[in-house]
Amino acid sequence: MLLEKIASKKSVIGILGLGYVGIPLALRFSEAGFRVLGFDIDGDRVSNLNSGRSPIKHIPGAEIASMVAGDSPLRSKPDKAYSRCRDRLDGGGGFSATADFARIPEVDAIIICVPTPLSRHREPDLSFITSTMETIAPYLRSGQILSLESTTWPGTTEEVLRPFVDKRGLTIGEDFFLVYSPEREDPGNPNFTTRTIPKVVGGATPACRSAGEALYGVVIDRVVPVSSTQAAELTKLLENIHRSVNIGLVNEMKIIADRMGIDIYEVIDAAATKPFGFTPYYPGPGLGGHCIPIDPFYLTWKAREYGLSTHFIELAGEINRDMPEWVVTKITDALNERQKSLKGSRVLALGIAYKRDVDDMRESPSVLVMEILRDRGALVDYSDPNVPVFPKMREHKFDLKSVDLTPESVEAYDCVVLLTDHSDFDYGMIAQHAKLMVDTRGKYREAKENVVKA
């Protein structure tokens, strides 16, 4: 019955967690002709989405409004079943959001996209997952599929989610289907969409895997089935550990090249001409985003259960965590060479989102650089066209607004440090008027007296 509903697009899709992963997924299912009900504990976000407003910069509000209105190019003329479903979701369109988790029985597919941060002791924090399961468990019913997309350690789906389903009296693989399918969103990347990024799917049973393939197969170009939920969970960790280790390597190479007086970007570009056996990675002020700085330590934590040490993962983590401190040292040295101390100097941070052309502040190394500078007596401001006001963050606090970049404002600072290379910055103007420019992103390749590479 479930597979038939999915194939005919009569099933209702529930997305739990309407953030950088959940919203693009909701858009894709809606675009493909499905009714979507989004769940989130943030009442303001729910209200904004229902009003057709986007809470994320790189997702246009017009797309949200179209999703709410149900203006899908792939949706055929509504039939009676669709009309009943529309009335049930009382949104009048293709999507509605709610903070009422008692509406879980209305959906056929439950897709969990909630955060999985680290604790202060760098151990997995699954509180968002467990609280979500505790909330929805009383409302689970037969005929549903539950898919976890949050990145986590191998075994989470079986060891954490499955007991909630079992206690409900549902039989996994027969009247209820449990899968793990890791998210692969890359915010702000115009070359890939939710539809075109292959989707890995692992099931608690072969029947669960088939249900997962059916669910994602109607909206994703390529579904990649694996043998178990554990294999799917480890796949996601391997992807992010691969990046973390290679970024750690190139950041260490940057430090070595800097000490030797060699331009690391020239070296990377030259090495990238090799047509085999080399993939270019580029250094920066540290790691950012919800995945790369965090996910590797999920495996480190789990490996201890098996008496194993993850040497590469932990070493890469140490190098990447040390990069903000190294950047501040370069700033301090550059100011000293100009007879200025860091304490009392005015420093402007360019770009505080974790990557180019997004407003995502999660784990941004720019914030760590700003904090170190502030703690050492510098007077810190920032400019970021995507973050007009410094947001409320759990571990970081600045009462600042983005500085408008003009020749006069740039000249007013003792040092301008490029931390995130947004496309909107006028790099020529900035370099022309900056007294001292510290470049952590390799935007200024040609040697300039006022530019220091870090």
Distance of alpha carbon 302 from alpha carbon 156, whole angstroms: 10
Residue ranges matching CATH 3.40.50.720 in the chain = 2-227, 247-453
DSSP-derived secondary structure letter, 103: G
Which ranges of 78-228 does DSSP label H, i.e. alpha helix?
80-89, 127-136, 156, 162-167, 206-217
pTM here is: 0.89
Stretches in the chain below the pLDDT threshold 50: 73-93
List active site positions.
291
| 356 within 8 A of 320, measured Cβ to Cβ | no
Distance of alpha carbon 152 from alpha carbon 115, whole angstroms: 10
Distance of alpha carbon 358 from alpha carbon 351, whole angstroms: 10
Residues in the chain: 454
* Residue indicated by tokens 């399918």: 181
Residue 380 backbone dihedrals phi, psi, to 5 degrees: -105, 130
- Which among 173, 177, 132, 170 has a CA at the least distance from the CA of 150? 132
pLDDT at position 85 is 39
Distance of alpha carbon 367 from alpha carbon 84, whole angstroms: 49
Q: Which fold has domain 2-227?
A: Rossmann fold (3.40.50)
Token readout for 72 is 């899908």
pLDDT, tens digit (0-9, with 9 covering 90-100), for 64-96:
999 998 875 444 333 333 333 333 443 334 899
| 427 within 8 A of 441, measured Cβ to Cβ | no
Distance of alpha carbon 343 from alpha carbon 332, whole angstroms: 9
pLDDT at position 72 is 55
Q: Which fold has domain 247-453?
A: Rossmann fold (3.40.50)
pLDDT, tens digit (0-9, with 9 covering 90-100), for 359-382:
999 899 999 999 999 999 999 999
The CA distances from residue 243 to 153, 171, 214, 247, 327, in Å, are: 17, 38, 30, 6, 21
Pairing of strands 176-180, 199-203: antiparallel
142, HSE (Cβ side, Cα atoms, 13 Å):
6
| 103 within 8 A of 45, measured Cβ to Cβ | no
- Strands across the sheet with 176-180, in order? 95-98, 35-39, 12-16, 109-112, 144-148, 176-180, 199-203, 223-226
- Which among 408, 416, 414 has a CA at the least distance from the CA of 384? 416
